[in-house]
Homo-oligomer: A and B are copies of this chain.
Amino acid sequence: MNLKELARKLDLSPTTVSRALNGYPEVNEATRERVAAAARKYNYQPNTRAIRLATGRAMAVGHVIPVATRHEIVNPVFADFIAGAGEVYSRNGYDLLLSVVPDDDEERAYRELKSRGTVDGVIVHSPRMQDERIPLLHDLGIPFVVHGRATDSARPYPWVDVNNRRAFQRATEFLLDLGHRRIALLNGLEFMDFAIRRRAGYEAALAAHGITPDPAIMAAEEMTETCGHRLGVALLSAPNPPTAFLVSSMIMGLGLRRAIEERGLRMGRDVSVIIHDDELSYLRNGDDVPIFTATRSSVREAGRQAAAMLIGLIRGEAGAPRELLMEAELIIGQSTGPHRG
C-alpha cells in the first residue's frame, strides 16, 4: 500500500493524505481522522526511501567505528553506548547506521557519508588528542557530537564526556586518605584523550599531597585482562611495589586481581584497587555489593545524551546545550582498605 493507492481509496489527492498524516494544519479535522483510520486499516507505512529523497533528509545517524588494522580491537564500550543511543534514535524516527571502517580509511568514510547523503549527522568515537576528525567534520558541515573530548581543538565542538580528570583525582585522594602513598596507575593508551585526563587527575591529587609521580609505577597499555595481569605481575614483583592501584577499566582490573591473588595477596586487604566502571551491562561491578571500589559512570547514559544532543543539532534547535560533562560517582567497594604499614 502506497500513498497514491491510499489516496484513491479515500477519494482524496495524495497531497491531502500526505498532509493529514504529517500533521499539517491546512486539512479538515474530519478528513484527517478519516485518513488516519484508513492508514491504520490498510497498515499504510510511508516508504522510507521516498521520504528521504523528497525531503533531502537521511533520517539516519552514522556511527563510524574505526577498527584498528593492526590489533583489531573493538572498543568494549561500543555495545552499551550504542544501545543507549539507539533508544533515543528510534524514539525520534532516526535510523542508526554503523560503518565499520579500517582506521586508516576514516577520512574517506566521512567524506562519502557526506557526499552521498547517507546520514544527517555522526557520532565520533574514541577521540584522540588533536583529533583530525573534528576539523574535517567542521569543514564538511556534518552535524556531529564527540563521545569524549579532544584536547587542543582549535574551534569549539559539541561533546558528551565524563569528568575523567575529577574522577581520577577523587579516587587518588581517596587512596591517599587511606594512607596509601605508593599508588600505581594502570591507564589506557595515552593517545586516547580520556587517558590523558585521567592521568592529569591522578597527578594533580598526588601533587597536592607533595608526592612526585613515579613513572615506574605508571603504565599506559591496552585495557585488556591480560595487560592488567601482566602489569600487575611486573609491578608487584618489583622492588618497592605499590600498595594501591588505580585502573582505567574493569576488564583490566580483573587481570590485575588475578595477578594479586596469584601472589597470595588479598585485594582490599593487602593491595587496594580502584577501577573505572562504565556500567557495561554484561560486566556489572557486583550485583548489590560492588566488587571493586570504582569511579562509576554509565556509558549507556552517555549514549542517550549524545544521541539527544545530535538530534537537537540536526534539527537546528537553537539554545540547546552543546557540551555535557557527566560526573562520575565514587563507589566504595571491597577492593580498598587502609594502608598497612
Contact = CB atoms under 8 A, between A and B. Distances in A.
A52 interface: yes
A58 B60 CA distance: 13
Contacts of A316: none
Contact of A100 (B43, B50, B87, B284): B87
A130 interface: no
B224 A283 contact: yes
A254 interface: yes
Copies assembled: 2
A74 B118 contact: no
A74 B83 contact: yes
A135 interface: no
A188 to B, nearest CB: 11
A98 B116 contact: no
Given A49-B117, A112-B45, A226-B284, A98 B96 contact: yes
Contact of A224 (B46, B95, B284): B284
Contacts of A45: 112, 115-116
A65 B43 contact: no
Contacts of A56: 49
Interface string A60-101: 100001010001111110111011001101100001111111
Contacts of A83: 65, 67, 74, 100
A296 to B, nearest CB: 15
Give 10 nearest A-B pairs by CB, closest first.
A86-B100, A45-B115, A76-B282, A49-B52, A261-B261, A96-B98, A48-B116, A49-B53, A73-B281, A79-B79
